[in-house]
């Protein structure tokens, strides 16, 4: 059983490959031509399932559904002081051509406009899997606070301004091994792990005998 990720985001690909080092994992562009997916769901779960089902449909069209399953991640940050924005819009918080840097700059500006140096916040990651044996999903969370400045050089997204509960440093200042233990994505991947083991058994038991 091989896994194709519904993303070409190399930071996400690296995190998932490191977490699931015992599986063969491929970025989307290693298996198929990347294509646009309209993420029009109203929750992380809806968007994760939209993405993973679209990629699985492509696997079926390519005749690869007996070899691959699809896995997606939809994640973002919710800030209490911003009425829990940006939420599912985290990746495009600063507009159509948003970048990680422009998204962080907007969040800092929004905190400053409210004369806030920090606010409670949490990360969410919904991990979804689609295969010929069904669709599954699991959520992981990381709680803490955002601050109105960037600190650190590790990570991506909002990591440089997010301090997890129990820590005094931002995720961007933490060692990768620590982030792997506490992150929302790792927690979601951990919860989906039994599903992958189940699917691996199903793939093995349904393998044709020649």
Q: Which residues are catalytic?
A: 74
Contact call for residues 7 and 13 (beta carbons, < 8 A): yes
Residue among 83, 84, 46, 52 at smallest CA distance from 70: 52
Q: Which H helix or E strand runs over 10?
A: helix 10-19
The whole-angstrom distance between residue 151's C-alpha and the CA centroid of its chain comes to 22
* CA dihedral for 84, 181, 9, 153, sign (positive or negative): positive
How far apart, in whole angstroms, are the C-alpha atoms of residue 179 and residue 76?
16
**Helices (runs of H) and strands (runs of E) counted in the chain:** 5, 7
């Amino acid at each position: 059983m091989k896994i194709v990720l519904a993303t070409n985001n190399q930071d996400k690909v690296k995190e998932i490959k490191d977490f699931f080092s015992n599986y063969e994992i491929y970025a989307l562009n290693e298996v198929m031509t990347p294509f646009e997916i309209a993420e029009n769901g109203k929750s992380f779960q809806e968007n994760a399932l939209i993405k993973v089902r679209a990629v699985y449909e492509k696997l079926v069209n390519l005749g690869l559904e007996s070899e691959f399953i699809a896995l997606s991640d939809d994640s973002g940050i919710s800030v209490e002081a911003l009425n829990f924005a940006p939420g599912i819009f985290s990746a495009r918080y600063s507009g159509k051509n948003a970048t990680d840097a422009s998204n962080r700059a907007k969040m800092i500006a929004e905190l400053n406009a409210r004369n806030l140096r920090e606010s409670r916040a949490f990360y969410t990651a919904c991990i979804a899997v689609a295969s010929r044996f069904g669709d599954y999903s699991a959520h992981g969370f990381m709680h803490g606070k955002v601050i109105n400045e960037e600190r650190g050089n590790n990570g991506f997204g909002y990591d440089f301004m997010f301090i997890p509960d129990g820590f005094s440093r931002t995720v961007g200042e933490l060692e990768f091994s620590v982030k792997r233990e506490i992150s929302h994505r790792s927690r979601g991947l951990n919860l989906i792990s039994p599903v992958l083991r189940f699917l691996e058994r199903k793939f093995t038991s349904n393998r044709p005998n020649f």
